[in-house]
Amino acid sequence: MTPLFVLTPRPFVSPLRRVLTPVCALAAALAIGGVIVALLGRSPAAAFRVFLVEPLTDPWAAQEVLLKATPLVLIATGLLFCFRASRWNIGAEGQFLVGGLCGGGIAILTHGMTGAWILPAMMLAGACGGLAYAALPALLRVRFGISEILTSLMLVYVADLLLDYLVRGPWRDPKGFNFPQSVAFSDAALLHPLLEGGRLHAGMILALAAALAAALVFRRTLFGFAIAASGEAPRAANFAGFNEGRITILVFLISGALAGLAGVIEVAGQVGQLRPGFGQGLGFTAIIVAFLGRLSPLGAVLAALVIAVLLIGAESAQVSLKLPLDLARFFMGLLLICILLGESLERYRIRFRRAEKERPA
């Protein structure tokens, strides 16, 4: 039977369409989310105010938005290297957790000590831990041709179980009333607020610096061109002399290092100790940030702020509107679907056909 419609490639995609696609995807997700909120018996207008307006107008909530966006920017910036090269690192959450574990391990080993070297050592250990953990799926793909999607995703659960084992066993605080958590980090192992009475710390500056450095790499370096060529035209990249295996390993190492650094910033900034689930799914959320930002470093910064506003708004809505916190996770998945659908409609045009009756044999 003849299909009712076919997708035909667009000969040209205007810059305006590229800008409007993520905006329309966000608007569509908000509209569908408003319908869901109405079906739950709540006012969509009140939900819109709590989700989008209050996090931007309340000073305390605005700081929380920036804090929530900081690890998202770092992880998403690292993912841009993989996604632009068409390498699918789905396990940034695991690299984030391992980075936090490595950095937190330094904090535990130096507990009670002082010295300006402790925090830099934690960040270096976290970046190296995330880098090493990301190297596993990259090497498995290059050496054995195993899908990096499966291996990177499965390693997330290994990292999560390792964290759970350590905070319930060897690294558990003996004075923590049997709670699964490590000792609280010493003052020298914490990221302190930049301003007195505030909560913003230097992690935000590191995240913006990483995004700026990524933008320069993509626009001004041969390595950035090699990444783009490998992702858009692999055969042409091979003919040009760019080694596919080398690019795969390098983009995974960069992605893992930034995810691991984000893990250290999270435990040394907001959490202050190791505990199960300190990542709160930020590694998976960063995938949405990367695509909502159109695989652009600047776009990732803006997308991280949008997602952070929604996450903080969801926490407020749980209290003020009695909406379930899982509604935010549902909305993130819905937003990703809308983004992918929008990108498909951006690249392809729908052409309907008249249904033809099947002729008897």
pLDDT tens-digit map of 19-37: 888 888 888 888 998 898 8
Question: Mind listing the pLDDT tens digit for each residue in 259-276?
Answer: 999 999 999 988 889 999
Give the N- to C-terminal CA distance of the chain in Å, as an integer: 13
Angle between helices 297-320 and 15-39 (to 10 degrees): 10
For residue 12, is it within any domain?
Answer: no
In the structure encoding, which two tokens stand for residue 240, read together?
Answer: 């040009």
Residue 212 located in a structural domain: yes
Q: Is 340 inside a domain boundary? A: no
Rounded CA separation 105/182 (Å): 10
Residue found by looking up tokens 């991280």 in the block:
304
pLDDT at 359: 53
**Is residue 226 in a domain?**
yes
At 202 the three-state DSSP class reads: coil
pLDDT tops 60 at residue 9: yes
Q: Answer yes or no: is 56 within a domain.
A: yes
Counting every residue written for the chain, the total comes to 361
Structure tokens at 29: 């997700």
pLDDT digits (tens, 9 = 90+) for 201-232: 999 999 999 999 999 999 999 999 999 999 88
Structural domain harbouring 167? 51-322
Q: What is the pLDDT of residue 275?
A: 92
Residue 297 lies in a domain: yes
What token pair was written down for 59? 């000073």
pLDDT (0 to 100) of residue 354? 63
Q: What is the pLDDT of residues 303-359, one digit of tens each?
A: 999 899 888 888 888 888 888 877 777 887 888 888 888 888 888 888 776 654 555
Number of domains in the chain: 1
- Looking at the domain assignment, is residue 1 inside a domain? no
* 300 pLDDT above the threshold of 70: yes
Q: Which two tokens stand for residue 107?
A: 């904090």
The whole-number pLDDT of residue 124 equals: 96
Determine, yes or no, domain membership for 233. Answer: yes
Contacts made by residues 316-319, CB under 8 angstroms, sequence distance 24+: 316/50, 316/51, 316/54, 316/55, 316/61, 317/47, 317/50, 317/51
Name the range with the highest mean pLDDT among 25-29, 85-89, 238-242: 85-89
Average pLDDT, the chain: 89
8 backbone dihedrals φ, ψ, rounded to 5°: -115, 135
What CATH number did the domain enclosing 299 receive?
Answer: 1.10.3470
Determine the pLDDT at residue 231. 87
Asked whether 122 and 272 are in contact (CB, 8 A), the reply is: no
Distance CA 149, CA 164 (A): 24
Q: How confident is the model at residue 2 (pLDDT cuts 50, 70, 90)?
A: low
